[in-house]
Structure 1
Amino acid sequence: MMKQSLQLKLGQQLTLTPQLQMAIRLLQLPVLDLQAELREALEKNVMLEMDDGLELAPAKGEQKTPSDALRETPAAQSAESGTDTPERFDDDVSYADVSDFGSGYSGSGQGRGDGEDQRDYADVSGSSLRDHLIAQLDVAFPEGDRKYIATMLVDAIDDDGYLTESLEDICTNLAPELVTDVDEVERVLACVQRFDPLGVGARDLSECLLLQLAPFAPDTPDLELVRRLASECLVELGEQDYATIRRRLGCSVEQLEHAVALLRSLNPRPGGAADTRPPEYIVPDVFVRRDESGWRVDVNPAIAPRLRVNAAYAGSLGRGGEYSTLRTQLQEARWLVKSLEIRNETLIRVARAIVSHQEQFLERGEEGMRPLVLREIADALELHESTVSRATTGKYMHTPRGVYEFRYFFSSQVSGSDGESISSTAIRARIRKLIAEEDPAKPLSDSALTRALVQEGIEVARRTVAKYRESMGFPSSNERRRVTIR
């Protein structure tokens, strides 16, 4: 028979304070989400204001003293010392003792902060391929069942302009609102395929090229040969097997050269021509520069609005109960400013550790990349590995060799013949160089590439070389053999 009883147990458990939760959330946010988060905070919290002169906190160990982000008037400091004022942000909060846990937050606020320049920008939103096709659809099919079918077809066209669903599936998706057959959908598709840009709505590459050849004048030289080339010989054309193409089509070398040139003038991805949406640019979180003392890492000051506590508002708070909401906002403002300092300090420390470890990459390129894992950076900075993971995900570094995500500098390792480990990135770079320097008439096989790497002290298996070669998009040696038309 079970008996109920009371027991006392002692244990330790990590408690995530609101301050620490905010610091971790800001650390893992990419630049765009961070900007949205801070703009939303500026809108909602009257205790926050822009600070154009605020300096970012430097990394630990530097002689430079961080600027005080909580500069306030004496009145504000006296108000802070009141008995009913919420507790100050804990300056000892750090990421070092935080274990791995998730956060589903994603900033989505919009707005402008006080002091931000109010400017009018031109509309550069552009239009997608679907918008472009829908505008033509409204003209070609003003109303009726065919418009419904055409809309379903347009929705099934991907960004490259290809129809991604079969006509049978489209008929099934139309039911029960509209019962139709494949023949009717085929007729509507034929109309959609005449939309701009030419080639849109094709079900494969051959059909896409034939649609673009349809408007050509009948007296175009070798037009019929080009159509046969697009419909019958695309595989051989991709393999550059021109001898087989000439035998199959019964043409001369000059005719085939002209047909291939005309075919290559067509667009295999017509959807991209109609997509006028502006490109999304990567905003680097840190800049890496070289000066007299070596490589220098600085936080990008433009990645987010710089904030501070509004000293005038903070100093005007009284101790009455009617100011409880404003005191809560004051506390949240201090937490946010301090969390931003912690975020900047952590980013700069992690970035400097990566740059210190990968100096050979900055000097020589990918062949100088050293193997690196998150644990090494975490141990060097006395941080938890999950913190380093958050600080390197979605963060970018601008270097003299280009813009790279922090995660790019972490790679697996392969043991060398001299006992020194070599990163997989460096091996890929060496394979790419060997293939670029090979004789086109006698391309290097995977076994030959393996032997060449072993001679350089890189002990790697042939299957590993094949895997790296395929991941970089290089075909096999047989496929790389360049066969000329003649």
Structure 2
Amino acid sequence: MLGMQLVQEQRVRLSITPEMKQSIHLLTLSSQELVRYLLEAADENPVLEVEEHAAPLVRLPRRGNQGTFASYDPLLQAKGAEPTLEQQLSAQIRMLDLPPALAAAAVYLAGCVNDDGYLTMDLAEVSSACGISMDKAEAGLNILQSLDPAGVGARSLHECLLLQIRRDPSAVRYAERMVEAGLAELVPFHPGKAGTRLAITSREAQAAYDYITRLDPKPCRSIGCSERPHFIIPDAVVELRHGEVYLGLHSAGNLRVSLNEACSRWIRHGSPDEVWSARAAEARAIVRSVQLRRRTLIRVLTAVMDEQNRFLHEGLAGLKPLNLAIVAKKIGMHESTVSRAVNGKYIQTPHGVFELKSFFATAIGTASGDQMSAAAVKLRLKEFIRTEQVNQPYSDSRLAARLAEEGIVISRRTVTKYREELQILPSLERKRWG
């Protein structure tokens, strides 16, 4: 028979408060995302005040000498909108003394060119759309292809290369003949075989090939780009001054957050309703969360830069292996907190702007028992390839052997992976003949 009984037991359960959830969210935001978040919060909550604040650079790891990182508005550094490719081509056509019908056809064709400079519409469609003959459509195409940059209006890569060669007074001999023979002759390229087919010497074939590789297959890709420019504003700045390391948050994303004094005084001494009390509590929670975010970021950044001190003096060659566990143990935080702190953040260093994640490098063992970062190995690999003989480039196996001679033992497959990540061609395609 089923019965009922009253049982008392203890359970430990972890619950996350709304303020803790907010603190975690703010920690994951980049400086610019934080600025947007705070400005929107200040618009909705009159108790909260937000103003620009220039954070000091603090010297690490000793005394608290401070210097100010100059504040500036990043939007003032942005360029205005540039004319589109179609506008630039149309402006060139207007400068020519052309019959109205021919000018109209050329302008119409300019509007059919994609961002790379290639014509995306068939001449028969142009003839039908403009109500002109095929001869006039072809004449309009000739006008378009005579404009700058050379290669605009091409209908294929083959035609694009030929247009650039024919417009270049210093074009290398036999380059046009090599392109006319077909692009299949260029990949892969062997000067002896190409020279035999074209009845020229291997040296002349190599010179023509080298010239062709310097041509632009997308001549208009940098003109009137329709994509919005992507600017990276670092979240923090680290500098070297007389051998000392100074670290601070970037002023562009470091806003001063406080409570409005008038509202706070009225809420304390007046008789506010529940709505105003809730807004005051919300504003205080945001202020505490922002302060906690700053302290956490500074602690994480200090630990990372302290571990990567050689990088600050030597660059990528001094980057050492590092993982989240080392930083978390050093500052007494959980790895997930460190992960949230570095996610999507950038730092300005003496060697450029880097994503914080890039300082957590994979460890690669050496013959001496030490460890190197993958970035340092890639840098050494790049140096080997830069100094190789062009007629006898190193194969991936030879590169692995060269690294092994320096105590860096990695497989040929890893060398291939690193070479591809560096966007370096295989040895056969790097080789220069003749």
1:398 deviation in Å? 1.2
Deviation readout 1:186-239 (Å, 9 max, x if unpaired)? 99xx7998697664576753243245567x59xx79899544423435455566
1:461 deviation in Å? 2.0
Residues 58, 348 of structure 1: 8 Å contact kept: no
Structure 2: gaps (5+ residues): 65-71, 93-99, 102-107, 126-136
Amino acid at match of 1:377: V
Deviation readout 1:296-347 (Å, 9 max, x if unpaired)? 3211122243222111221123676654333332222222222221112111
Take 2:354 and 2:328, find their aligned partners in 1: how far apart are those partners? Answer: 20
* Structure 1 residue aligned with 2:25: 25
* Structure 2 residue aligned with 1:125: 81
> In structure 2, which of residues 399, 414, 420 is the aligned counterpart of residue 464 of structure 1?
414
Task: Describe the shift of the 1:120–1:226 C-alpha distance in structure 2 as closer, same or farther (beyond 3 A).
Answer: closer
* Structure 1 residue aligned with 2:105: none
* Structure 1 residue aligned with 2:128: none
Residues 290, 296 of structure 1: 8 Å contact kept: yes
* Structure 2 residue aligned with 1:16: 16
Deviation readout 1:68-90 (Å, 9 max, x if unpaired)? xxxxxxxxxxxxxxxxxxxxxxx
> In structure 2, which of residues 400, 403, 415 is the aligned counterpart of residue 453 of structure 1?
403
Q: Tell me how large the CA RMSD over aligned residues is.
A: 4.9
1:436 deviation in Å? 2.0
Residues 193, 202 of structure 1: 8 Å contact kept: no
Amino acid at match of 1:317: I
Percent same amino acid among aligned pairs?
A: 33
Task: Describe the shift of the 1:377–1:262 C-alpha distance in structure 2 as closer, same or farther (beyond 3 A).
Answer: closer
Task: Describe the shift of the 1:258–1:366 C-alpha distance in structure 2 as closer, same or farther (beyond 3 A).
Answer: closer
Residues 162, 201 of structure 1: 8 Å contact kept: yes
1:396 deviation in Å? 0.9
Amino acid at match of 2:21: Q
* Structure 2 residue aligned with 1:205: 157
Q: Which secondary structure does the structure 2 equivalent of 1:403 belong to? A: strand
Matches within 5 A, 1:255-404: 263=212, 266-276=215-225, 279-291=229-241, 294-317=244-267, 323-404=273-354
> In structure 2, which of residues 415, 425, 430 is the aligned counterpart of residue 475 of structure 1?
425
Take 1:328 and 1:310, find their aligned partners in 2: how far apart are those partners? Answer: 15
Take 1:226 and 1:57, find their aligned partners in 2: how far apart are those partners? Answer: 57
Take 1:305 and 1:397, find their aligned partners in 2: how far apart are those partners? Answer: 17
Residues 366, 426 of structure 1: 8 Å contact kept: yes
1:409 deviation in Å? 1.0
1:406 deviation in Å? 0.4
Take 1:62 and 1:252, find their aligned partners in 2: how far apart are those partners? Answer: 68
> Higher RCO, 1 or 2 (CA under 8 Å, sep at least 6)?
1
Residues 197, 274 of structure 1: 8 Å contact kept: no
Q: What is the count of residue pairs matched by the alignment?
A: 404
Amino acid at match of 1:359: N
Q: Which secondary structure does the structure 2 equivalent of 1:14 belong to? A: coil
Task: Describe the shift of the 1:49–1:222 C-alpha distance in structure 2 as closer, same or farther (beyond 3 A).
Answer: closer
TM-score by length of 1: 0.66
Task: Describe the shift of the 1:297–1:240 C-alpha distance in structure 2 as closer, same or farther (beyond 3 A).
Answer: farther
2:349 matched to 1:429? no
TM-score by length of 2: 0.73
Amino acid at match of 1:464: T
Take 2:229 and 2:78, find their aligned partners in 1: how far apart are those partners? Answer: 15
Take 1:375 and 1:205, find their aligned partners in 2: how far apart are those partners? Answer: 51
Q: Which secondary structure does the structure 2 equivalent of 1:438 belong to? A: coil
Task: Describe the shift of the 1:465–1:295 C-alpha distance in structure 2 as closer, same or farther (beyond 3 A).
Answer: same
* Structure 1 residue aligned with 2:181: 232
Amino acid at match of 2:217: P
* Structure 1 residue aligned with 2:68: none
Residues 371, 423 of structure 1: 8 Å contact kept: yes
Take 2:153 and 2:220, find their aligned partners in 1: how far apart are those partners? Answer: 9
1:46 deviation in Å? 1.6
Amino acid at match of 1:413: A
Structure 1: gaps (5+ residues): 65-115, 141-146, 172-185
* Structure 1 residue aligned with 2:129: none
> In structure 2, which of residues 156, 173, 190 is the aligned counterpart of residue 241 of structure 1?
190
Q: Which secondary structure does the structure 1 equivalent of 2:322 belong to? A: coil
Amino acid at match of 2:433: V
1:452 deviation in Å? 2.4
1:449 deviation in Å? 2.2
Residues 52, 254 of structure 2: 8 Å contact kept: no
* Structure 2 residue aligned with 1:406: 356
Matches within 5 A, 1:148-159: 157=114, 159=115
Take 2:185 and 2:34, find their aligned partners in 1: how far apart are those partners? Answer: 51
More off after superposition, 457-466 vs 233-242: 233-242
Residues 259, 284 of structure 2: 8 Å contact kept: yes
Q: Which secondary structure does the structure 2 equivalent of 1:302 belong to? A: helix
Amino acid at match of 2:220: G
Q: Return the structure number with greater helix share.
A: 2
Q: Which secondary structure does the structure 1 equivalent of 2:21 belong to? A: helix
Q: Which secondary structure does the structure 1 equivalent of 2:230 belong to? A: coil
